[in-house]
Chains A and B, each alone.
Chain A
Amino acid sequence: MIKFGKRNLRIPKWQRPVYVVAGGLTPFRKKFPEYKLEELCAIAFRQMMQENDLKMSLKDIKGLLNFAAYGEFADHFQDQLLCEAKVHDYLGLDPLPNIGVKTGGATGGSTILTAAMAIASGYADCALAMGWERMDEVDTKTGNFYISTAACKDFETRLARMYAAYYAPMARRFTEMYKVSEVTRAKIAVKNRLYAYYSPYAQQSGKHTIEEVLAGKIICDPLRVLECCAMSVGAASMLLCNEELAYKLSDKPCRLYIAGGTHTLRVADRRHMDIPLLPHEEPGMYDKLLREMTAQNGRWPGFESFLAARFAAYMTYGMAGIKNPLEDLDLVELHDAFTISDLQTYGDIGLRPYGKETDYIESGDAYFGGKCPSNLSGGLLGTMHAVGATGIFQGIECLWQIQNKYDKFHGDPKIWNEWADVGEYKGKPRQKPNDWKSLQVPNAKKALWISHAGVGSHVTAGLLEKAF
């Protein structure tokens, strides 16, 4: 059983406030032969520098930088070690220091955490957080094998060589324990892929129906094809700075809080423990649930929940003064690598109590126009999971929402046209739909995103707060 020592639950405290002022993305594609990796990074970097209404020139902002954090999930996809040095040089940032960050699917979030710590500590006044992945050098089967080496190579990888097969047992257990209809999972796939339909960056958008999701081929049962994200190529870039530079650079800076949590690589090694409570949860509220779990031979967090996500949320809510996430947050971006990981997370971060996760979807709260919409970016299912870039992409989408720039970055026909005819859309361009609509959340002030690795091995919870 994991027991916390007295100071393990200390809330992180920045030495000084940290801000985010700008973000940049490439489009995301399953195959992207048009560009080399560093060229994609340059595209995201340029958008960050030039399209975010910053009050200085690209050259002058480069002159402010002190540090860069780079996220890449897996060297073997690209067969290139120290890609950080290539990208850093390509962007013209030598000899500033950079650090490469690797925490699986949470790499993007951890990269931002690293850059934020540089600002908060005073190491840097201005820092770059950039992430990427290039997963198209190998076929999907090989890619799935590579990803499955992020299960335990001695005891798990050979038992599937496919990551969906490590989520599927969680999906089954969650379904049995909480009596969840597969329709709820299908709704998540439909929702997120629909939101991707409005994004010019999206890779796998679509107006799907619940029936279509449920009729899809089974990958690892109960998970079906539209419930799983795809291999992806692309980059994302975020600019962080201290308070002084935040207002010099931008009229719309956002304050950043971010913290992380970790749990075993093997789900099966997760020993039972007491549920750490979030600020709005009452002691004793899970007694009944735990009794029911025990009756079914279950445990917390078991196969149903993510301790790392709960821990990260606990820390970030503490840093940002969040009392009740559903009330205090205007939107969230969650790690929907699989429909089930999305669903599991609702309880971990307190959008619903454990055992009532499905209600977040069924109530309509999770939808655009709902109380706290999730994955308006299209998420991982609809838009991208170029792994090292993902947590940064999510943060940027949160930033643009708070800055009231959803339309600027998603509705501009110039952006749609620029990326219509690349990657797998070559020759069958993906044009701005005639029924495009804005997913701008009116007057958004606080947004949370969850960057998540493995079967919950690493999680960061990032939170942006309007500071203008």
Chain B
Amino acid sequence: MSEKIIKYIGTPLEIIQEKPEMVVKWPRTLMHMHTYGKLSKFFQELKKGKLFATYCSNQDCEEKRLWLPPRADCPDCNQPTSWIEVPNPVVGKIYTFTKVEYPGEGIELEYPYFQIDVDLGPQFATIFKGYLLYGKPHIGMKVVAGFRIYNPTNTILDIFWVPKK
């Protein structure tokens, strides 16, 4: 009777350097399953060309301004927030920006491109990061939100900004 021999079914590692220290290639390909949780609505609405923010509807809470990025819970009173649509056209002003020349691995935008931080006005508690589809930014420049309704990416890249005419 023969014992079952355990076979090696992997792929041998490629050697980068044999001496003096042995250095090998160590492959790592993984898939994550990521939930947008209570913020799913935000991403779902982007694909319909709509921008949704959240706000705290707790009457006792002092923070009445809108959150964008949205938050499902208010950081001040820790109660669940409510959704509100930011009416189209969504117009903001560039608060600051950078030209991304050397992005990291996996970048999904053609580069260089301008990453911009958009001030949507005093009714918002926050400033909203995005990118400029075309044009040259300057601080204070007015921009309008656009949406990737066709072939959406299902990511934050489904919203972009264009210079206001």
User: Which among B17, B107, B117, B125 is the interface contact of A161 at CB below 8 angstroms?
Assistant: B107
Residues of B107-155 contacting chain A, CB below 8 A: 107-108, 115, 117, 119, 125-131, 139-140, 155
Interface status of A220 (Cβ within 8 A of chain B): yes
Which residues of chain B are near A147, meaning CB under 8 Å? Answer: 104
Cβ–Cβ contact A173 & B95, under 8 A: yes
Q: Which of A149-157, A251-259, A381-389 contacts B (4 or more CB under 8 A)?
A: A149-157
Cβ–Cβ contact B104 & A162, under 8 A: yes
Which residues of chain A are near B102, meaning CB under 8 Å? Answer: 144, 162, 164, 219-220
Return the chain A residue nearest B119 by Cβ: A297
Q: Which of B5-13, B20-28, B49-57, B78-86 contacts A (4 or more CB under 8 A)?
A: B20-28
Which residues of chain A are near B36, meaning CB under 8 Å? Answer: 154
Cβ–Cβ contact B69 & A158, under 8 A: no
Interface status of A56 (Cβ within 8 A of chain B): no
Cβ–Cβ contact B21 & A170, under 8 A: no
Cβ–Cβ contact A160 & B140, under 8 A: no
Question: In the bound complex, how far is the Cα of B127 from the Cα of A156, in angstroms?
Answer: 12
Return the chain B residue nearest A139 by Cβ: B105
Given A158-B157, A169-B117: A33 in contact with B100 (beta carbons within 8 A): no
Cβ–Cβ contact B104 & A220, under 8 A: no
Number of interface residues of B (CB under 8 A): 43
Return the chain B residue nearest A32 by Cβ: B21
Cβ–Cβ contact A165 & B100, under 8 A: yes
Cβ–Cβ contact A161 & B105, under 8 A: yes
User: Which among A137, A220, A221, A271 is the interface contact of B126 at CB below 8 angstroms?
Assistant: A271
Given A79-B26, A145-B104, A220-B98: A172 in contact with B21 (beta carbons within 8 A): no
Interface status of B99 (Cβ within 8 A of chain A): yes
Cβ–Cβ contact B115 & A160, under 8 A: yes
User: Which among B67, B93, B100, B157 is the interface contact of A220 at CB below 8 angstroms?
Assistant: B100
Interface status of B89 (Cβ within 8 A of chain A): no
User: Which among B20, B69, B98 is the interface contact of A168 at CB below 8 angstroms?
Assistant: B98
Cβ–Cβ contact A158 & B108, under 8 A: yes
For the complex, would chain A's binding face be called helix, strand, loop or mixed by DSSP majority? Answer: mixed
Question: In the bound complex, how far is the Cα of B28 from the Cα of A369, in angstroms?
Answer: 49
Question: In the bound complex, how far is the Cα of B102 from the Cα of A143, in angstroms?
Answer: 12
Cβ–Cβ contact A33 & B155, under 8 A: no
Question: In the bound complex, how far is the Cα of B97 from the Cα of A268, in angstroms?
Answer: 12
Cβ–Cβ contact B104 & A141, under 8 A: yes
Number of interface residues of A (CB under 8 A): 48
Which residues of chain B are near A220, meaning CB under 8 Å? Answer: 98-102, 115
Interface status of A11 (Cβ within 8 A of chain B): no
Question: In the bound complex, how far is the Cα of B106 from the Cα of A147, in angstroms?
Answer: 13
B43 to chain A, nearest CB (A): 8
Return the chain A residue nearest B93 by Cβ: A297
Given A169-B115, A303-B117: A141 in contact with B129 (beta carbons within 8 A): no
Q: Mark A115-144, 1 if CB is under 8 A from B, else 0.
A: 000000000000000000000010101111
Return the chain B residue nearest A164 by Cβ: B102
Interface status of B73 (Cβ within 8 A of chain A): no
User: Which among B26, B95, B156 is the interface contact of A158 at CB below 8 angstroms?
Assistant: B156
Cβ–Cβ contact B95 & A297, under 8 A: yes
Which residues of chain A are near B128, meaning CB under 8 Å? Answer: 268
B122 to chain A, nearest CB (A): 9
Most chain-B CB neighbours within 10 Å: which of A143, A144, A155?
Answer: A155
User: Which among B34, B96, B101 is the interface contact of A172 at CB below 8 angstroms?
Assistant: B96
Which residues of chain B are near A219, meaning CB under 8 Å? Answer: 101-102
Which residues of chain A are near B100, meaning CB under 8 Å? Answer: 159-160, 162, 165, 220
User: Which among B26, B96, B103 is the interface contact of A170 at CB below 8 angstroms?
Assistant: B96
B147 to chain A, nearest CB (A): 16
Cβ–Cβ contact A172 & B139, under 8 A: yes
Which residues of chain A are near B34, meaning CB under 8 Å? Answer: 153
Interface status of A1 (Cβ within 8 A of chain B): yes
Cβ–Cβ contact B69 & A154, under 8 A: yes
Most chain-A CB neighbours within 10 Å: which of B102, B106, B107, B130?
Answer: B102
Cβ–Cβ contact A169 & B156, under 8 A: no
Which residues of chain B are near A164, meaning CB under 8 Å? Answer: 102
B81 to chain A, nearest CB (A): 14
Cβ–Cβ contact A79 & B28, under 8 A: yes
Which residues of chain B are near A271, meaning CB under 8 Å? Answer: 63, 125-126
A162 to chain B, nearest CB (A): 4
Given A137-B26, A219-B102: A34 in contact with B21 (beta carbons within 8 A): yes
Given A218-B99, A220-B101: A268 in contact with B129 (beta carbons within 8 A): yes
Interface status of B39 (Cβ within 8 A of chain A): yes
Interface status of A358 (Cβ within 8 A of chain B): no
Cβ–Cβ contact A154 & B156, under 8 A: yes
Interface status of A435 (Cβ within 8 A of chain B): no
Question: In the bound complex, how far is the Cα of B97 from the Cα of A154, in angstroms?
Answer: 19
Cβ–Cβ contact A160 & B103, under 8 A: yes
Interface status of A148 (Cβ within 8 A of chain B): yes
**Known contacts A34-B20, A145-B104, A147-B104; 18 further A-B pairs (Cβ under 8 A):** A33-B23, A141-B104, A144-B104, A145-B105, A154-B156, A158-B156, A159-B129, A159-B131, A168-B98, A169-B115, A169-B117, A172-B97, A173-B139, A219-B102, A268-B129, A269-B125, A269-B126, A297-B119
Q: List 12 A-B contacts (CB under 8 A).
A: A1-B62, A34-B21, A142-B105, A160-B104, A161-B106, A162-B103, A165-B98, A165-B100, A173-B139, A220-B102, A221-B101, A270-B126
Residues of A at the B interface (CB closer than 8 Å) are 1, 33-34, 79, 137, 139, 141-148, 152-156, 158-162, 164-165, 168-173, 176, 217-223, 266-271, 297, 303
Lowest 9 CB-CB distances: which A-B pairs, in order? Answer: A161-B104, A168-B98, A144-B104, A145-B104, A268-B127, A173-B96, A145-B105, A169-B96, A141-B105
